[in-house]
Amino acid sequence: MKYRSLGKSELRVSEASLGTMTFGDEWGWGSPKSEAQKIYETYRDAGGNFIDTANFYTGGTSEQFVGEFFKGHRDTVVLATKCSSTAPAMIASACSSVKCCGAFPASVMTAVSDLSF
C-alpha cells in the first residue's frame, strides 16, 4: 500500500480508502456484519488506514460496525466522516449549522463511543 500526506498536514493516509456505505443491509442491499468485517480486515491487512463513513449510511449501522471493527487499533485508523444537504432530514437540519463546516461531530462520537483506546 502506498501512502500520501493528507493535504498540507503530516498525517499519512493510504492512497486507497475504504468506503463503508454498504456496511449493513438495512436498506435492502449491502453487507451483513460478518461480510463487512471480512472486507474491513482485508483492507487493513493490505495496509489501508483511511476509512470513509457517515452517520446516515445504512441508517447508522455502517458507522456502528466501523466503530466496533477498529476497537483496539483506533490510533492507526484515519476516519473521514461528513454531512451533506442530501442527508436524511433529521441530519440535514444539523448540517445547516455554521459549526458543522463539513464534518458532523455526532457522527464521529457514534463511531468511537464506548471504545477503549
Active site residues: 57
Strand pairing of 3-5 and 50-52? Answer: unpaired
What's the full length of the chain, in residues? 117
Q: Assign residue 84 a region (left: φ > 0; alpha: ψ between -120 and 50; beta: otherwise).
A: beta
Contact 53, 63 (CB under 8 A): yes
For residues 71 and 109, the answer to whether their CB atoms sit within 8 Å is no
Taken in order 20, 23, 40, 100, is the CA torsion positive or negative?
positive
